[in-house]
Amino acid sequence: MNDEHPPVPRILTIAGSDSGGGAGIQADLKTIAVLGGFGTSVVTALTAQNTVGVSGIFEVPPDFIAQQFDAVASDIGVDAAKTGMLVTPRVVRLIAQKIVEHRIPCLVVDPVMVSKSGDALLSGEAQRTILEALIPLATLVTPNLPEAAVLAGMPVRTPDDTRRAAERILASGVRNVLVKGGHLEGHQAIDLLYDGETFVEFPSERIPTQNTHGTGCVYSAAIATLLGHGHPVQEAVRQAKAFITTAIRHSLPLGRGHGPTNPCAWIEWT
């Protein structure tokens, strides 16, 4: 692997492909490019989806997933990586193995479990494997409230619940937990970062729009890219929160369902 003074941070996204372009690999690569990183990818699944829902999932064979990972990491190199849709326990364990094997220095885990339209994207066994095998390797895990409830094994409905859930998730071995508060009620969307010692809140205006497809993907890809630039976790989250808020504010009314957020808005509106 060539690690000598890369001209830009090398950011690897390990996720599913979204044929509608609003989430997954497609959204990640847009985000990484806008924030000045060089994006590479390991595609774990192909999805037939649009703004209305997911109509099909084709799982990439694990051997080919491994081949993609080895090809990128052994030559181009990886300064930071993020995971999204991983589909099966076997794939989760494989990715965890490759993270260790290639000594990936910085990992953001977006525990993708359900699509914006409500379609299940991860089996219960795969969810448990993420908690046990992958999250302990992560620099940061970024669950929304339903995902935090699964990972923490408790209901998460209030701000106090988010703190207790963050503490439980951190106990699994991850270094930092960011519980996203978009599902809570209120005029602000408040995300909560916990590093084992301090809780830090990241509030933003709640923007009234149904065009939020890909929000978690864009947010986690932004954090990974900013970590790849060398920012500390708290600063990376702060900047990524501003990035995703801008992407939601200038989201795109495409399709008949949940339209996509707009990572490229960062270029035009900031």
Catalytic residue, chosen from 83, 215, 225, 246, is 215
**How do 10-18 and 107-109 pair as beta strands?**
unpaired
DSSP single-letter state for residue 237: H
214 catalytic? Reply is yes
Cβ within 8 Å of residue 165, ≥6 positions away: 148, 149, 151, 152, 154, 156, 179
Catalytic residue, chosen from 216, 228, 241, 245, is 216
Helix 233-249 crosses helix 215-228 at what angle (to 10 degrees)?
Answer: 140
Catalytic residue, chosen from 129, 212, 225, 246, is 212
**Cα 179 from Cα 111, distance rounded (Å):** 11
44 catalytic? Reply is no
H, E, C per residue of 59-126: ECCHHHHHHHHHHHHHHCCCCEEEECCCCCHHHHHHHHHHHHHCCCCCEEECCCCECCCCCECCCHHH
180 catalytic? Reply is yes
Catalytic residue, chosen from 13, 217, 245, 246, is 217
Catalytic residue, chosen from 180, 225, 228, 241, is 180
Are 219 and 180 contacting, i.e. CB atoms less than 8 angstroms apart?
A: yes
**Cα 150 from Cα 202, distance rounded (Å):** 22
106 catalytic? Reply is no
217 catalytic? Reply is yes
215 catalytic? Reply is yes
Q: Which residues are catalytic?
A: 180, 212, 214-217
